[in-house]
């Protein structure tokens, strides 16, 4: 049965998302879809931290949609790699501010370049007339997930 005939079947959506996860390698804990030897969580954290000169740890947790304790462990791993430094928040003694180290900035830049190259090739492989639909479908999936939560 083709996917078009199963549009109202939750199992079809589950199967399609599972295929997407496997195709992108998101089920592999120690590498990114662009082939870098770090976890997807670390890659996303690097990207978020590279956007600003400093970010509160609680804000990073919100952006990554992860629990505070998970982000704390993640930041610990990144700190052990020499990528992140932590400092007390100047306006709140309990808050933590994160900054990329020079090594972390280099890692973030290298990762961003690899990601850009990988997604450029992927976009080129999608027929031009299908691209808007693919992007729209991904947006709709995220919105539906957010509403369901």
Same domain, 25 and 58: no
Same domain, 15 and 61: no
Same domain, 15 and 87: no
**Can you give the residue range of the structural domain that contains 54?**
37-148
Residues 100, 112: Cα–Cα separation, whole Å:
14
Structural domain total, the chain = 2
Same domain, 20 and 86: no
Same domain, 45 and 111: yes
As averages over each run of 10 residues, the pLDDT of the chain (149 residues) reads 72 91 86 88 95 94 95 96 94 89 96 94 96 95 90
Same domain, 13 and 60: no
Same domain, 108 and 135: yes
Same domain, 15 and 43: no
State the pairing for strand pair 84-89/92-100.
Answer: antiparallel
Which residue is associated with the tokens 């973030």?
Answer: 108
Residues 28, 39: Cα–Cα separation, whole Å:
8
Domain harbouring 67, CATH code:
1.10.10.10
User: According to the model, what pLDDT value does residue 33 have?
Assistant: 85
User: According to the model, what pLDDT value does residue 92 have?
Assistant: 79
The radius of gyration computed from the CA coordinates of the chain, to the nearest angstrom, equals: 18
Please, are residues 41 and 66 in contact by the beta-carbon 8 Å criterion? yes
Which residue is associated with the tokens 């589950």?
Answer: 14
Question: pTM for the full model?
Answer: 0.84
Same domain, 20 and 70: no
Same domain, 68 and 100: yes
Same domain, 26 and 76: no
User: According to the model, what pLDDT value does residue 3 have?
Assistant: 56
């Amino acid at each position: 049965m083709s996917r078009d005939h199963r549009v109202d079947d939750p199992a079809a959506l589950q199967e399609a998302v599972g295929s997407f996860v496997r195709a992108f390698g998101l089920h592999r804990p120690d590498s990114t879809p662009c082939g870098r030897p770090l976890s997807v969580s670390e890659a996303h954290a690097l990207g978020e931290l590279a956007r600003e000169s400093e970010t509160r740890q609680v804000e990073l947790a919100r952006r990554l949609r992860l629990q505070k304790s998970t982000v704390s462990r993640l930041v610990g791993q990144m700190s052990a790699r020499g990528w992140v430094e932590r400092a007390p928040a100047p306006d709140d003694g309990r808050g933590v501010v994160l900054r990329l180290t020079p090594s972390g900035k280099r890692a973030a830049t290298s990762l961003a370049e690899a990601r850009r190259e990988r997604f450029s090739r992927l976009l080129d492989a999608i027929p031009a007339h299908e691209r808007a639909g693919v992007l729209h479908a991904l947006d709709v999936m995220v919105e539906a997930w957010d509403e369901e939560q």
